[in-house]
Amino acid sequence: MTSSWPITLRHGDVTLRPLRTSDAYRWQQIRSANQDWLSEWEATSPFPDAELPPTFRQSTRRMRKDAREGRCMPFVVEYQGQFVGQLNVSDIIYGALRAAHFGYWIDEEFAGRGIMTTAVALVTDHLLFELKLHRVEVAIRPENIPSNKLIHRLGFQYEGTRKAFLHINHQWRDHHIYVMMREDLVAPLTSTLSAQ
């Protein structure tokens, strides 16, 4: 399968564009300002003394290489041209499965404005209609009420809870699993959104 990367997706004031190593300063600025806001949902290593986390540049280079090979899509979420969050599509698989999953975060200052709802709709449309994947999956902690509502509002179907699924904020945490399949959609999700 040929990679469709790099790609930029837009709807109204929301843009998803490829993450770049030159985003390091703005990324670190947002993450630092949002440390308390994001730490509750942050992936952590179960072996912190044995595994140093990669730097932003190391992580970005690895993701961009994987993106060129068609395995992931690391996006910056922009609102009116400003970097406000990130959405990463991971584990893109073709063949008989044709599936992927994604996760996201947003600057607290921009939360609750429908920006991430639009970003999720954009990426889901791209994965199901352009890449012709069959299944898109999202894992969300039960305690993350806004994200659970966002995904439900867009029509993702709850499949169940995976116990101790990911190591988040220094503990193994349960996650609700939501899925959207191509046959679930009559029209693109973005067609149901008003312009941001």
| Segment-wise mean pLDDT, segments of 10 residues, the chain, 196 residues | 78 97 94 90 78 83 92 97 97 96 96 96 96 96 95 96 92 96 92 70
**How confident is the model at residue 39, as a pLDDT?**
85
Whether residue 1 lies inside any domain: the answer is: no
Q: What is the pLDDT of residue 3?
A: 58
Has residue 2 been placed in a domain? no
**What's the pLDDT score for residue 174?**
95
DSSP per-residue codes, 157-182: EEEEEEEEEEEETTEEEEEEEEEEEG
Altogether, the residues listed in the chain come to a count of 196
- Nearest Cα neighbor of 106 from 76, 80, 133, 65 is 76
Q: What phi and psi, each to the nearest 5 degrees, are found at residue 55?
A: -70, 165
The pLDDT, as a whole number, for residue 41 is 85
pLDDT of residue 196: 42
pLDDT score of 195: 46
Residue 94 DSSP label: -
pLDDT at 52: 74
Q: How many domains, in total, are found in the chain?
A: 1
Pairing of strands 9-11, 14-18: antiparallel
To the nearest 10 degrees (0 to 180), the angle between helices 115-125 and 145-153 is: 50
Domain containing residue 179: CATH number: 3.40.630.30
Total-model pTM: 0.93
Residue 21, domain extent: 9-192
Phi then psi dihedrals of residue 54, to 5 deg: -65, 155
Instruction: Write the CA distances from 85 to 27, 100, 116, 142, 172, integer angstroms.
Output: 8, 20, 8, 21, 24
The answer to whether residue 4 is domain-embedded is no
Question: Is the residue at 108 inside a domain?
Answer: yes
**Within-domain flag for 119:** yes
Classify residue 127 as left (phi > 0), alpha (psi -120 to 50) or beta.
Answer: alpha
